[in-house]
């Protein structure tokens, strides 16, 4: 994770150390996945737009292949400095919220992304090169600033092309740093990077973020973490989730971590762990669900429901997936009916998902349904891809057994 | 014929819908500090202190009009544009300078208010605190429309300067000749006269005035259809403010100047007028000072708050509720409270302060006009409303004149001629 302000004006060299100029701007795709596509390099004579394919690395300086070619701006591409930085952020009702103080960039495999925008005072201090001074002064005043940022998931990419940084929600519904969105972005990065970001957050927030991470990353993180530290974070996560995570760890590590948990959490977790032998989700998995893309409109969904779900036994929720079938959201039929026909799914879908895995014990799935008052839960695999659903109707037999 | 009147009626109604920003900003330029400067100059030099008032009005009109035009076309404040074009560093620097300058102006207005209460023989500490609290209440609770009405009522109070000018029974013909044509009663080679004249101009064309007219128009939510009418309104404002200050100068010139009495501020001027022009003229003058202080005391902190909200992107509208515009209203309240606290300590020297405030204001003007011209001539920002031809010449000309005057004043201050 780096900040745009940290690389702006850095020198750009070719691999044999010939200076090309200084970094003047970055170009990104104004879409759901905001990939950085080009860099703008400026020298005394002119400005050169180079595709990111030629980028070798970014560290003290930026290096590009000497065989770089110039290119032009394509459709849907915007500049960070010219179109995003310092711009006014408004919420969906048009109220001004704050300005874009800095832009957070993120690397995954060989791609760079815009992860989100910094909206805090720390962002301003960083731009001014006063971070350490600012922290000293705040230290004297016994205040601590935390980074505040909005993830890309909050911003409407379409509006950005029209010159407005517009959010998908109203300000009061907005938590400046939404753990689940942060988790989404962290998943595009290495474990080392996740750890780095998590260290910046306070424990409570870190716990929330970890709770929302893909199970693969959760396992990876807890495998690396010393048991004591792992326990301190797991103490803050819902016991249902803790069990989900613990099941993927080795028996030895599991026992070590449980040993460090707080008394109360330990009791809950041990209780839930006992259900492990009682049966698996797979036996109840149903394929009677509807999964749609977030770019569809309400009218599209209504047509889809008529076309595809006519022979379903019941339909309570519609699940939202991305291009690679990863589950990214959900909404109920009630929520659907409340929307205008022209509204887009991504604008109203619920991103805070309650999910289960094939390994999740039935009892825990039932507990989640009752706790969150849901009549069905999506079952996902390690990569967050949706496998099917389980419904309370199918599980009612189990429920009956438990009660009597 | 009937059609013609009908058309005229609609035009007039449309004009009323834009009424406000130009007049309020321009008239508020005649705040307590302005009154002090005019009266001191008029007591020293008579109506010659208003020499070249016509070109001055023109410069004010032209400079305010570019602000109004940029605001209507872009729907962005000057603070917005500076932040978006020049980044966070420069905007923060400008805001800090601007905050300090405006705090000085607020202080001048609090002490103007104090002087007005003293002239009415009121318990000034009590009334000062009450008035400040009342102002804070009005601004935070009232919406744009209601507040604007309040401002316009304050503008009407300025008529009292006309009354007091009439009551001193001046030689109107001579006043017109001295100010509009050629001054005969001062030595035009006297440099101190010219510095005093520039100071008079300096209280009319201010840094906060440029920012305020901009922000206030945006808050009024005018659009391009209003451009023509708003321009007229701005011109009317420029005329009105100088008309009022001219009347004020008449009242002072035909009492104090002809009797050779020098004064330091609006307070001593009002007191000194009494023996020559009577109780009524004195009262009108005091009422004028009161209105000027109230208007300045509200508009200037608002101008600060608007720019803060613009630069840092927070909600900044008089129509916003307090909880939504916390920081916007917060800056307004802070400036008034600082002003109030300082004024309650009687030993503070406001004379020195006025000097520094003028200095800072002068230092900011060239920067602001640089931005204004830059934005107004930028086709990317202004589209087809970009200024060109004669109006561009006029704007550039006015800017250069202001640049030169600011540099002259700085030299004058360094050489100790003012």
B230 close to B238: Cβ distance less than 8 angstroms: no
pLDDT at A173: 47
Residues of A in contact with B309 (CB under 8 A): 96
- Name the percent of chain B lying above pLDDT 90: 24
Average pLDDT over residues A209-226: 77
Average pLDDT over residues A326-345: 89
Looking at residue B253, the DSSP 8-state letter turns out to be I
Domains of chain A (ranges, CATH numbers): 2-177 (2.30.30.240), 180-278 (1.25.60.10), 281-403 (3.10.580.10)
**What's the rounded Cα separation, in Å, for the pair B372 and B210?**
9
Pairwise CB contact (< 8 Å): A86 & B84: yes
The minimum CA-CA distance between B219 and chain A, rounded to whole Å, is: 13
Best of A82, A84, A86, A124 to mutate (most B CBs within 10 Å, chain B): A86
Q: Which of A88, A96, A101 sits opposite B88 (nearest CB)?
A: A101
pTM of the model: 0.71
Shortest CA distance to B43 belongs to which of B290, B251, B194, B188?
A: B251
- Name the percent of chain A lying above pLDDT 90: 7
Count of A-B CB contacts under 8 Å: 37
Pairwise CB contact (< 8 Å): B83 & A97: no
* pLDDT over 70 (residue A333): yes
Mean pLDDT computed over every residue of chain A: 80
Shortest CA distance to A246 belongs to which of A280, A264, A263, A221?
A: A221
The minimum CA-CA distance between B202 and chain A, rounded to whole Å, is: 33
Residues of B in contact with A126 (CB under 8 A): none
Nearest CA in chain B to A172: B324
Q: Read out DSSP for B10-45?
A: HHHHHHHHH-SHHHHHHHHTSSHHHHHHHHHHHHHH
Mean pLDDT computed over every residue of chain B: 86
pLDDT at A359: 80
Q: Which of B87, B309, B324 sits opposite A86 (nearest CB)?
A: B87
Q: Which of B88, B312, B313 sits opposite A128 (nearest CB)?
A: B88
Q: pLDDT of B264-294, one tens digit each?
A: 778 888 888 888 888 888 888 889 889 999 9
Q: Is A89 on the interface with B (CB under 8 A)?
A: yes
**Banded model confidence at residue A101, pLDDT cuts 50, 70, 90:** confident
Nearest CA in chain B to A121: B312
Best of B88, B93, B309 to mutate (most A CBs within 10 Å, chain A): B88
Helix runs in A89-226, H state only: 121-128, 131-140, 157-161, 179-186, 191-200, 203-212, 215-224
A109 close to A183: Cβ distance less than 8 angstroms: no
B32 close to B300: Cβ distance less than 8 angstroms: no
Q: Which of B89, B311, B316 sits opposite A128 (nearest CB)?
A: B89
The minimum CA-CA distance between A163 and chain B, rounded to whole Å, is: 12
Average pLDDT over residues B95-100: 92
What would the two tokens of residue B208 be? 């906060």
Pairwise CB contact (< 8 Å): B324 & A97: no
Helix (H, G, I), strand (E, B) or coil at A344: strand
Average pLDDT over residues A358-381: 86
Q: Is A130 on the interface with B (CB under 8 A)?
A: no
The complex's ipTM? 0.79
B221-230, B300-309, B391-400, B406-415, range with the lowest pLDDT? B406-415
Pairwise CB contact (< 8 Å): A128 & B92: yes
**What's the rounded Cα separation, in Å, for the pair A62 and A52?**
11
Q: Is A246 on the interface with B (CB under 8 A)?
A: no
Pairwise CB contact (< 8 Å): B314 & A86: no
A292 close to A326: Cβ distance less than 8 angstroms: no
The minimum CA-CA distance between A25 and chain B, rounded to whole Å, is: 14
CA A48 to chain centre: 33
Q: Would you put residue B20 in left (φ > 0), alpha (ψ -120 to 50) or beta?
A: left
Domains of chain B (ranges, CATH numbers): 17-415 (1.20.1740.10)
Between A230 and A179, name the one with better pLDDT.
Answer: A230
Helix runs in A94-174, H state only: 121-128, 131-140, 157-161
Strands (E), A263-326: 290-293, 317-321
């Amino acid at each position: 994770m780096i900040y745009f302000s940290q690389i702006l004006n850095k020198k750009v060299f070719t691999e044999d150390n010939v200076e090309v100029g200084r970094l003047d701007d970055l170009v990104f795709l104004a879409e759901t996945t905001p990939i950085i596509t080009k860099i703008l390099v400026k020298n005394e004579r002119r400005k050169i737009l180079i595709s990111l394919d030629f980028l070798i690395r970014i560290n003290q300086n930026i290096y590009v292949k000497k065989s770089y070619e110039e290119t032009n701006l394509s459709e849907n591409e915007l500049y960070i400095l010219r179109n995003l930085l310092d711009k006014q952020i408004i919420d969906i009702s048009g109220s001004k919220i704050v300005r874009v103080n800095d832009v957070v960039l993120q690397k995954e495999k060989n791609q760079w992304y815009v992860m989100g925008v910094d909206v805090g005072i720390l962002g301003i201090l960083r731009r001014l090169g006063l971070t350490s001074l600012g922290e000293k002064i705040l230290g004297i005043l016994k205040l601590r600033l935390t980074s505040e940022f909005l993830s890309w998931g909050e911003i409407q990419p379409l509006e950005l092309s029209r010159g407005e940084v517009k959010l998908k929600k109203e300000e009061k519904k907005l938590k400046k740093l939404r753990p689940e969105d942060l988790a989404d972005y962290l998943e595009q990065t290495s474990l080392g990077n996740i750890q780095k970001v998590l260290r910046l957050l306070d424990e409570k927030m870190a716990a929330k973020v970890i709770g929302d991470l893909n199970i693969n990353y959760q396992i990876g993180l807890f495998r690396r973490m010393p048991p004591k530290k792992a326990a301190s974070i797991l103490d803050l996560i819902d016991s249902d989730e803790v069990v989900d995570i613990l099941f993927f760890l080795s028996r030895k590590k599991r026992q070590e971590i449980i040993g460090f948990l707080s008394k109360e959490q330990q009791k809950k977790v041990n209780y839930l762990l006992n259900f492990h032998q009682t049966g698996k989700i797979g036996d109840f998995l149903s394929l009677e669900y509807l999964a749609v893309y977030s770019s569809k409109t309400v009218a599209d969904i209504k047509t889809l429901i008529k076309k595809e779900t006519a022979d379903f036994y019941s339909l309570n929720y519609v699940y939202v997936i991305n291009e690679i079938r990863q589950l990214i959201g959900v909404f109920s039929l009630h929520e659907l009916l409340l929307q205008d026909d022209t509204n887009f799914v991504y604008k109203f879908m619920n991103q805070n998902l309650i999910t289960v895995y094939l390994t999740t014990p039935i009892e825990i799935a039932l507990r989640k349904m009752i706790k969150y008052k849901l009549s069905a839960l999506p079952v996902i695999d390690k990569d967050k891809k949706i496998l099917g659903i389980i419904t309370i109707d199918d599980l009612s037999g189990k429920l009956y057994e438990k009660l009597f | 014929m009937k059609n013609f009147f009908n058309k005229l009626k609609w035009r007039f109604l449309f004009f009323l819908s834009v009424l406000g920003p130009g007049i309020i900003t321009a008239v508020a330029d005649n705040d307590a500090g302005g009154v002090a400067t005019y009266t001191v100059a008029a007591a020293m030099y008579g109506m010659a202190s208003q020499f070249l008032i016509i070109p001055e009005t023109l410069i004010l009109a032209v400079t305010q009009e570019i602000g109004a035009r940029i605001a209507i076309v872009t729907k962005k404040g000057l603070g917005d544009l500076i932040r978006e074009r020049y980044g966070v560093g420069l905007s923060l620097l400008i805001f800090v300078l601007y905050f300090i300058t405006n705090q000085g102006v607020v202080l001048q207005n609090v002490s103007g208010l104090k002087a007005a209460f003293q002239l009415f023989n009121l318990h000034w500490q009590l009334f000062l605190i009450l008035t400040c609290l009342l102002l804070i209440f009005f601004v935070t609770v009232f919406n744009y429309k209601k507040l604007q009405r309040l401002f316009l009522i304050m503008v009407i109070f300025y008529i009292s300067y006309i009354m007091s000018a009439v009551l001193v029974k001046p030689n109107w013909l001579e006043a017109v000749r001295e100010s509009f044509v050629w001054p005969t009663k001062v030595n035009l080679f006297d440099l101190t006269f010219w510095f005093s004249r520039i100071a008079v101009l300096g209280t009319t064309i201010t840094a906060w005035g440029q920012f305020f007219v901009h922000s206030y128009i945006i808050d009024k939510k005018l659009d391009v259809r209003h451009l023509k009418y708003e321009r007229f309104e701005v011109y009317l404002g420029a005329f009105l403010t100088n008309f009022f200050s001219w009347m004020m100068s008449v009242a002072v010139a035909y009492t104090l100047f002809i009797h050779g009495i020098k004064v330091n501020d609006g307070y001593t001027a009002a007191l000194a007028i009494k023996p020559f022009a009577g109780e009524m003229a004195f009262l009108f003058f005091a009422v004028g000072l009161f209105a000027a202080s109230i208007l300045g005391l509200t508009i200037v902190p608002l101008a600060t708050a608007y720019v803060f909200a613009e630069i840092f992107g927070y909600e900044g509208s008089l129509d916003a509720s307090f909880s939504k515009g916390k920081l916007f209203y917060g800056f307004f309240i802070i400036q008034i409270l600082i002003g109030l606290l300082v004024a309650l300590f009687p030993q503070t020297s406001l004379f020195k302060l006025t000097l520094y405030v003028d200095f800072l204001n002068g230092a900011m003007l060239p920067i602001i006009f640089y931005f204004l011209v830059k934005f107004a001539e930028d086709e990317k920002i202004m589209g087809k409303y970009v200024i060109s031809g004669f109006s561009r010449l006029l704007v550039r000309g006015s800017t250069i004149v202001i640049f030169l005057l600011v540099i002259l004043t700085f030299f004058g201050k360094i050489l100790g001629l003012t």
